[in-house]
Structures are given as structure tokens and as C-alpha cells.
Amino acid sequence: MDNFYTYIIESLSDQSWYIGHTNNIGRRLEEHNSGENKSTRAKRPWRLIFLRKFETNL
């Protein structure tokens, strides 16, 4: 079984939220904060405010 995560991050610059999903939350949060994600680049830094793990048979 693989684990996937639904997450919500909050921008520390304007308190907006971004909702996403990933199979590696540490890597994904680093991508948001390093500017690799075009959708969240302008509102860095980000902090994780919600995380839920799901198991899948994919």
C-alpha cells in the first residue's frame, strides 16, 4: 500500500491557503517554499496547517 496526503498550507505573507495532495509531504512543502511551484511562488513562505494521510492500492 502507498500513502498519499491531502494538505493545506498557509502563506505567512498574506494568510491565504493552498490545498494539494502528494505522496511525499516533506518534498512537497520544500517545493512550495523554494519557489519551484509556480502557483505558490509569490506568496512564500508557507507553513503546513493540515495534513491527512490516505492509503491506496494504486
Task: Show Cβ contacts of residue 32 under 8 Å, excluding neighbours closer than 6 positions.
Answer: 9, 18, 40, 44, 46
CB 32 within 8 A of CB 16: no
pTM, 2 dp: 0.92
Domains: count for the chain: 1
Residue-number span of the structural domain to which 26 is assigned: 2-56
6-56 tens-digit pLDDT = 999 999 999 999 999 999 999 999 999 999 999 999 999 999 999 999 998
CB 9 within 8 A of CB 47: yes
